[in-house]
Amino acid sequence: MSLDHSSVTMQPAAAPSAPPPVPWKPSIVAEVAKVVANTAVNAEYRHLVVDCSEIAASARPGQFFQLLCPHPVGEQPFLRRPMSLYGADRTRRRVEFLYKVTGAGTRGLDTIEKGGTLDIMGPLGQGFTLDSKWRHVVAIGRGAGLATLAPLAKAAKANGTKVTAILSARRPELLVSVDIFKRHGADVVPVTDSEQTSGPGNVERILRGLIAEGRCDAFFTCGSIRLMRVQQRLAIEFGLPGQVAMEQQMACGIGLCYCCVRDFNVAGEIVNRRVCWDGPVFDLLEALP
């Protein structure tokens, strides 16, 4: 066979011919999805929208997909690339991603045109959980974390929970997900390096203010170890719960290979966990940098 992905056998779209006695159903699928849009949102990020199966479209906030990226000219990304769910619409059977072009795989993604196809695999991993008792939560993201946290906005609204989103970037024009949070009624606090508002000191000041006003029943975070540390300290100080979405290089994405492990502190004991399977969302206080 050639080294190109096109010759790798795809899962047949139809179900197997003879139905087994106890009908077995997949809850994760690899499927060829149709690309509805793949457009730049700013100098760094692209917004990718695909039509997919009902299983894929049932993805929940914090879950992710493994994308089989097309080969850009002169490069052959081999593995799938993990990408957080940015948005899901169950009725329209659609999922969205927000990705930054960084290397061979994401450069390949960037070549897909509207009407083209993309092999997506998911939904994968353990997502965020929202407690119905929480009245007001804080979401703090930076980098790809802004994409990961975005679907929380809609879910929180449905849960009757108010969100304050502290969104961090190098410069204001590189901020993403602001509109999604606003559309679902969240308070957005942009912080940036260029305006010198994104440092841990300032973010801690903002958080202490929210906690004092009773507007922080839980933390949700992704994309910055420095900001995670701030939240861990405050979570301990005020006895608040939190969840963090972690990243790690992945091969299989479904817990088979053990390449994506990280250490976690579980009640004082260091425990090894697979980010793809046990996470990517973990308890804030168990996460280690």
Partner 1 sequence: MIGPFSIDLSVEVGGIKLRNPVMPASGTFAEGLEKVIDFNRLGALVTKTVTRELRAGNPLPRVVERPGSLINAIGIPSKGVPHFIEKIIPQYAAYDPPLVVSISAPTAEGFASLAAELTLPGVSVIEANISCPNIEEDGKAFAMRAESAEKVTRQLRSATKLPLWVKLTPNTGEIAEVARAVEGAGADAVVVANTFLSMAIDLKTFKPCLGNIMGGLSGPAIKPIVVRQVFQCAKSVKIPIIGCGGISSAEDAIEYMLAGASAVQVGTATFLQPAAMVSIIDGIEMFCLQREISSVTELVHGVVIEEADDQDLAWLSPPT
Ligand X SMILES: Cc1cc2nc3c(=O)[nH]c(=O)nc-3n(C[C@H](O)[C@H](O)[C@H](O)COP(=O)(O)OP(=O)(O)OC[C@H]3O[C@@H](n4cnc5c(N)ncnc54)[C@H](O)[C@@H]3O)c2cc1C
User: Which chain residues interact with partner 1 by CB under 8 A?
Assistant: 1, 3, 5, 7-12, 16, 20, 24, 26-30, 68, 76-80, 121, 248-249, 251-259, 261, 272, 277
- 239 torsion bin: left (phi>0), alpha (psi -120 to 50), beta (else): left
Residue 278 binding ligand X, by CB under 6 A: no
Pick between residue 199 and residue 255 the one whose CB is nearest to ligand FES.
255
36 interacts with, out of ligand X, partner 1, ligand FES, none, CB within 5 to 8 A per kind: none
Q: In angstroms, what is the minimal distance from the CB of 59 to partner 1?
A: 13
- Token pair belonging to 79: 């593995």
Helix (H), strand (E) at residue 272:
strand 269-274
Pick between residue 80 and residue 240 the one whose CB is nearest to ligand X.
80
In this chain, which of 5, 100, 170, 208 binds ligand X, going by CB under 6 A? 100
Q: In angstroms, what is the minimal distance from the CB of 144 to ligand X?
A: 4
64 interacts with, out of ligand FES, partner 1, ligand X, none, CB within 5 to 8 A per kind: ligand X
Residue 79 binding ligand FES, by CB under 6 A: no
Place of tokens 């949102």: 41
Q: Find the binding residues for ligand FES in span 177-196 (CB under 6 A).
A: none
List of residues 6+ apart from 61 with CB closer than 8 A: 85, 127, 128, 149, 151, 152, 154, 155
> How many helical (H) and strand (E) elements, i.e. helices and strands, does the chain have?
6, 15
Place of tokens 């992710």: 64
Binding segment toward ligand X, per CB under 6 A, in 16-24, 133-141, 182-190, 248-256:
248-256
Spatial CA neighbour of 125 closest among 48, 68, 60: 60
Q: Which amino acid is at 221?
A: T
Helix axes 225-238, 200-212, angle to 10 degrees: 30
Site string for ligand X, 114-153 (x = CB under 6 A): ------------------------------x--xx-----
